[in-house]
Structure 1
Amino acid sequence: MTYQGVLTKMETEFSSPIQYYLVFDNDFINVNQLLNKTIHIQFVKYQCLNCGLDKTIYRQGFCKSCFFEIPQAADWIMHPELSTAHLDKEDRDLEYEKKVQLQPHIVYLANSSSVKVGVTRKSQVPTRWIDQGAHEAIEIVEVPNRYLAGITEVALKDYVADKTNWRTMLKNDIQDEDLLEWRARLKQYIPDEAMPYFIENNKETHLDFPVFKYPQKPNSLNLLKSLDYTGTLVGIKGQYLIFDDDTVFNIRSNEGLVVNLNIA
């Protein structure tokens, strides 16, 4: 069976194991059902996720001109501490910025390659943890806007990582951690403005990924160089497809590419 569509971040369903879906304009695929099947991936063209044109993707699925113009790619997306909607101050589009920034946000601890701190909208829990390949996570602060979450993350980055080592995450070379203990240890570093929102009593969330075989030496597929690839799917973790020859393909970092998928 052959499918064609533009790659966007896989949709997920929190269950055991987590369910993954590739969503195209006229089709969707439950990727879990492709495990142990041979998949041929072929690059077709670009399609910017904003303007829809066949223009080279610059970042986050957008062409260069869209990336530097649209609010969905503004600096505050990656750096929440730069949010200004709570001050009624526009960056690129105040209406959009208020919609996204002025809603409950979570500062969390997640263990994907090691314990890290992160920020997400409350509506994106546990989706954000799934996307990062975290096998355990916990909320530590729930604040009313993105700015407060951002300054909290910045304060905690001095004492805990804020990045995931994707190779370690994919090899599953990780240790269980007591995130309750980590939360208690980090509480003293939370900024005064966010301290009233500290979450005192909750439990870790544990996540189960559909992986039959973890790669020993993950090799990231660059579809723009190879143009096509064939392999047997043996796992899905984070936003990565894992193949039997240790090749891994990051769907998220290839957003905006139109591909053919042939399932044998």
Structure 2
Amino acid sequence: MNYQGVLTKMESEFLQPIQYYLMFENDFINMNQLLDKPVTLTFIKYQCLNCGLNKPIYRQGFCRDCFFDIPQAADWIMRPELSTAHLDKEDRDLEYEKKVQLQPHVVYLANSSNVKVGVTRKSQVPTRWIDQGAHEAIEIVEVPNRYLAGITEVALKEHVSDKTNWRSMLKNDIKDENLVEWRERLKSFIPDEAKDYFIESNTETNLEFPVHQYPEKPKSLNLEKQTTYSGILKGIKGQYLIFEDDTVFNVRSNEGLVVDISIT
């Protein structure tokens, strides 16, 4: 069976275990159903997620021209503390920025390789945690805009990591943490502007990923250079496909690549 289309990050469904779906323009694949089956990935061409042209992908699924032009790739996406829509100040497209920035956001703690702090729109809970491969997570602050979430994250990352070690996450080299205790420990470091939004009482969310075999020494597949890869799919975690030979493929990092997927 063959599928062909442009890669975008896998959609997910919060079940036990999490269900993953690779979406194409006119079709989709339930990736969980491919576990323990031989899968071949073949790179065909590029397709920028904005302009649709066959141009090398620069970042986030966009060609270089689009990346430095469109609001979906502006600096405040990765650095929410740079958000300015609450000041009615435009970066690239004020209408888009208001739509995204002026909605409830959550500052959270997630444990994927270690405890880290992060920011996401409230509507993206628990999807954001799934994408990061976190096996447990908890909201600690819920604020009305992206700017407040951003400055809270900046303050807290002085005291807790804001990075995930992807190799440790994929090897499942992790330990359980008491995120409620972490939340209480970090409470005093929340900026004054966000203190009233602290979540006093909630419990952590636990996530189960569909993995039959974790890699001992994960090695990342560069499909643009190798062009074709075949292997037996053994797991899915975060946005990674995990294969029997320890090869791992980050779907999200390869957005904008048109691929052929063959299942035998």
The TM-score range, normalised by the shorter chain, is: over 0.9
Q: Tell me, what secondary structure is at the counterpart of 2:245?
A: coil
Structure 2 residue runs of 5 or longer lacking an equivalent are none
Residue 205 (structure 2) aligns with: 205
Cα deviation per residue 1:80-138 (whole Å; 9 max; x = unaligned)?
A: 00000000000000000000000000000000000000000000000000000000000
Matches within 5 A, 1:129-148: 129-148=129-148
1:96 match: 96
Matches within 5 A, 1:45-194: 45-194=45-194
In structure 1, the residue matched to 2:223 is 223
Figure out how many residues of one structure are paired with residues of the other and give that number.
264
TM norm structure 2 = 1.00
**Equivalent position SS for 2:248:** strand
Letter of the 2:249 counterpart: F
Partner Cα separation in structure 2 for residue 151 and residue 228 of structure 1? 43
Work out the CA distance in 1 between the residues paired with 2:114 and 2:56.
34
1:215 positional shift: 0.2
CA distance in 2, matches of 1:52, 1:196: 44
| Distance in 2, Cα, partners of 1:124 & 1:102 | 14
> Where does residue 14 of structure 1 map in the other structure?
14
Within 2, Cα distance between the matches of 1:21 and 1:198?
34
Q: 1:229 is matched by which residue type in structure 2?
A: Y
List alignment gaps of at least 5 residues for structure 1: none
Amino acid at match of 1:165: N
- Equivalent-residue separation in structure 1 for 2:26 and 2:45 (angstroms): 18
**Partner Cα distance (2:167, 2:115) in 1:** 15
TM-score between the two structures when normalised by the length of structure 1: 1.00
What is the alpha-carbon distance in structure 1 between the residues aligned to residue 8 and residue 81 of structure 2?
26
- Partners of 1:120 and 1:134 lie apart in 2 by 14
- Residue 225 of structure 1, CA deviation: 0.9
Q: Which runs of 4+ in 1 moved over 2 A?
A: none
- Find the aligned partners of 2:170 and 2:131 in 1 and give their Cα distance: 12
Task: Return the letter of the residue paired with 1:147.
Answer: Y
Secondary structure in structure 2 of the residue aligned to 1:230: strand
Secondary structure of 1:262's aligned partner = strand
SS in 1 for 2:261: strand
For residues 13 and 217 of structure 1, what CA distance do their matches in structure 2 show? Answer: 28
**Deviation per residue, 1:37-67 (Å, 9 max, x gap):** 0000000000000000000000000000000
Q: Partner of 1:237 in structure 2?
A: 237
Q: What CA RMSD, in Å, does the superposition of the two structures yield over aligned residues?
A: 0.2
Displacement of 1:8: 0.1
Provide the secondary structure at the position in 1 that maps to 2:253.
Answer: helix
Residue 3 of structure 1 is matched in structure 2 by 3
- Give the SS at the match of 1:193: helix
Counterpart AA for 2:165: N
Query: 1:178 & 1:228 partners in 2: Cα distance?
Result: 43
Q: Report the Cα distance in structure 1 between the residues aligned to 2:19 and 2:116, rounded to whole angstroms.
A: 24
Distance in 2 between the 1:49 and 1:163 partners?
26
